[in-house]
Structure 1
Amino acid sequence: MDMAPQFDIPFGNHENDPVDTKGKISAMLGEYKKVKWDLKEIYNLDIFNFEDVAVNAIYLLSLENLVYLWDIIDKDKSRKVKEQYERVKKRLIELFWDEEDKIFYGLYHKGGKEFKAKIKTVSSLFPLCLDIPKKYIDSLIEHIVNKKEFWLTYPIPSVSKDEKSFGPLTDTRYIWRGTTWINTNWFLAKGLLRHGEKELYKKLKAKTIELIEKHGFCEYYDPITGEPGKAMRNFGWSTLAIDI
């Protein structure tokens, strides 16, 4: 999700201009190269320190799988990983949940302070994949089915339609700013099934398969027209549609 608009804010790009963000990413990489990609030095540079919702949700899913595997061969290690999983899950809710907007937002750090990047993106929905309390799941589903936000003709777009950074398909190739992706649909479809939302899952699955039938395995799609535009064709991770 490299060009997703939640990452504009740490760069001071509050107008969500993708050209500005791309330039600042290039400059950032130049600074990181100067410190030889040392993680401690990169952190101290304080250019871009971001805690993303989707990254942490996927990390938690990985811990779940480790718990399952360790439980087969070493109960003690399984217990320790389970404890780690519960700690991280608790912190994810505490840090990322926004009670006002009823959704999850990532955090960024500047000058020793922590701020929420308050832009509704597909990353905000990823805790749907986890075993978190029902009130959070219900709120996320409300956002997903809202036709002014995420339930467009071909859901689920990478940015909510009511965000100023929403741009479903452009010729600039600045991606993750409104296009629909099969890989994120795959995660969220699994989340819907996990929480018993079978009818909504079926609708999302049907719309996702329809994109493949019409246009093939493309990198991304316009959430309104379904067109892939200049997206790469025969794109590997879009074959996840087979497993939805």
Structure 2
Amino acid sequence: MNAGLDRAARRVLIANWRRHATVPAARLYPHQWSWDSAFIAIGLRHLSPARAQRELESLFGAQWRDGRVPHIVFDPHVPADAYFPGPSFWRSGSVPQAPGVPTSGIMQPPAHALAAWLTYRADPAAARDRGFLPRLYPRLVAWHRYLATRRDLTGSGLMCVVHPWESGMDNSPAWDVPLSRIEPVPAGEFTRRDLNHAAAADRPTDTDYGRYVRLARDYRDAGYADSLAGHAFAVEDPLCNALLAAGEHALAAMATELGKDPDPHLAAAARLTEAMAATLYDPSAGIFFPRDAHTGSHLRSYSIGGLLPLVVPGLPVATELVKTALGDRFRLGEASPLPSYDLTAADHDPGRYWRGPGWVNTSWLFWHGLRLHGEPSLADDLRDRLLERVRDAGFREYFDPLTGAGHGTDEFSWTAALVLDLLRTP
């Protein structure tokens, strides 16, 4: 059975390859997405380490001069109206720090350093021959520097996301409170392309989308400048900060490999870990909550992002996060993939984008964290159930965490890539 699943996953990744990178899904997402490419590289390293390296190199080839890595790199061979918001909306060409290729102006969670280190380890000799680390390491350092400086909007030592799309969990209930302050752009002023390829019941509402457009338009019109006063939505997100901390550990390993001093990266990881634990962790709840940068208040919504600091080596509250995951809100041991949002909440929706369904990438991160923190039995059980879900429902974008019903688009690249990793990681 696993051999067939392995072959099917490889077929998805081959079909979604476009000259230099992999699209998330041919119809719904026809360009290169940032954190998708990180997860895709983690799977591709088992199929072709060189291609996994090219996936990341292609993304960082569109890095802005200020260090940011855009969440979309647009393919000029794809019709301009195939996706909204497209290049004409973002207008990156008018921004001095933007690259020569059209991109968006926002970012996505910084999973890239972890992906780059795992990719390097898949075939160090080939990576050395290609000069992979010498090329990518300084770009990753610049990326992390942008997040740690330009995006520390409160001085807390934590980075902020300034748009729900930057969190990777676009319309999570975690963002409902700060989003409620945003006046949506009327639906008649933009044309959604996602509903041509996915059911409306699975996607964000027009009101949510109108708020996303408002925030993105305001950021664009401000020249993509970062300041707390300039961002109506600004949130210190546990998932993004955890990936930044885990990425600093990966950069430390890269620095050692390159004969550089790893200590600055380890110190940055320690500072981030301490700041997350002091600022975002709630001991009484056993989970991390995002913090609204404007009000200083926790956004007390039990989302999967609050469990994912488990990816940070040496996290002092790892045991507590596992205990919370085993409880009724997430039901680790039964739910698969882990739900994106509290199963006990009255507004849990098992089919709507990030408001309840489970995604393979967030479950992969939790699986990685379980292995990191000495929970091999729980990790093996989660892996087996994830593979069973995909075997039964296909390479879907996301799944009902209890019934296993597939939702969103199909032939989804990071689902296929992470299935390859789950199958092939000892």
Q: TM-score, normalised by structure 1?
A: 0.87
**TM-superposed deviation, 1:69:** 1.2
Change (3 A) 1:187 1:149: closer
Residue number among 360, 378, 383 corresponding to 1:205 in the alignment: 383
Change (3 A) 1:145 1:155: farther
**TM-superposed deviation, 1:133:** 4.8
Answer yes or no: is the 8 Å Cα contact 1:119–1:163 preserved in 2.
no
SS at match of 2:268: helix
Instruction: Give the counterpart letter for 2:226 in structure 1.
Output: L
Query: How do residues 45-194 of structure 1 correspond to structure 2 at under 5 angstroms?
Result: 45-76=230-261, 78-110=262-294, 113-134=295-316, 136-151=317-332, 152-169=334-351, 174-194=352-372
In structure 1, distance between residues paired with 2:247 and 2:171? 24
In structure 1, distance between residues paired with 2:359 and 2:248? 25
In structure 2, distance between residues paired with 1:130 and 1:82? 12
Answer yes or no: is the 8 Å Cα contact 1:156–1:181 preserved in 2.
yes
Answer yes or no: is the 8 Å Cα contact 1:150–1:159 preserved in 2.
no
CA radius of gyration, larger in: 2
Instruction: Give the counterpart letter for 1:124 in structure 2.
Output: G
Instruction: Give the counterpart letter for 1:215 in structure 2.
Output: A
Residue matched to 1:232: 409
Q: Aligned Cα RMSD in Å? A: 1.9
SS at match of 2:235: strand
Answer yes or no: is the 8 Å Cα contact 2:171–2:354 preserved in 1.
yes
Residue number among 177, 201, 213 corresponding to 1:26 in the alignment: 213
**TM-superposed deviation, 1:75:** 4.5
Instruction: Give the counterpart letter for 2:251 in structure 1.
Output: L
Instruction: Give the counterpart letter for 2:318 in structure 1.
Output: I
**TM-superposed deviation, 1:232:** 0.8
Instruction: Give the counterpart letter for 1:102 in structure 2.
Output: G
In structure 2, distance between residues paired with 1:47 and 1:95? 21
Instruction: Give the counterpart letter for 1:187 in structure 2.
Output: L
SS at match of 1:115: coil
SS at match of 2:399: coil
Answer yes or no: is the 8 Å Cα contact 2:219–2:231 preserved in 1.
no
Instruction: Give the counterpart letter for 2:233 in structure 1.
Output: F
In structure 2, distance between residues paired with 1:95 and 1:45? 23
**TM-superposed deviation, 1:116:** 0.8
CA displacement, residues 188-221 of structure 1 (integer Å, 9 cap, x when unaligned)? 1011111111111121111100111111111000
In structure 2, distance between residues paired with 1:73 and 1:148? 43
**TM-superposed deviation, 1:148:** 4.2
Residue matched to 1:38: 225
Instruction: Give the counterpart letter for 1:55 in structure 2.
Output: C
In structure 2, distance between residues paired with 1:75 and 1:29? 38
Change (3 A) 1:26 1:150: farther
In structure 2, distance between residues paired with 1:120 and 1:150? 13
Query: Alignment length, in residue pairs?
Result: 230
Residue number among 201, 218, 223 corresponding to 2:401 in the alignment: 223
CA displacement, residues 2-45 of structure 1 (integer Å, 9 cap, x when unaligned)? 111111111237xxx955433322222232233232224xx323
**TM-superposed deviation, 1:73:** 2.8
**TM-superposed deviation, 1:58:** 0.8
In structure 1, distance between residues paired with 2:347 and 2:310? 23
Q: TM-score, normalised by structure 2?
A: 0.51
In structure 2, distance between residues paired with 1:155 and 1:218? 12
Gaps of 5+ in 2: 1-168, 182-203
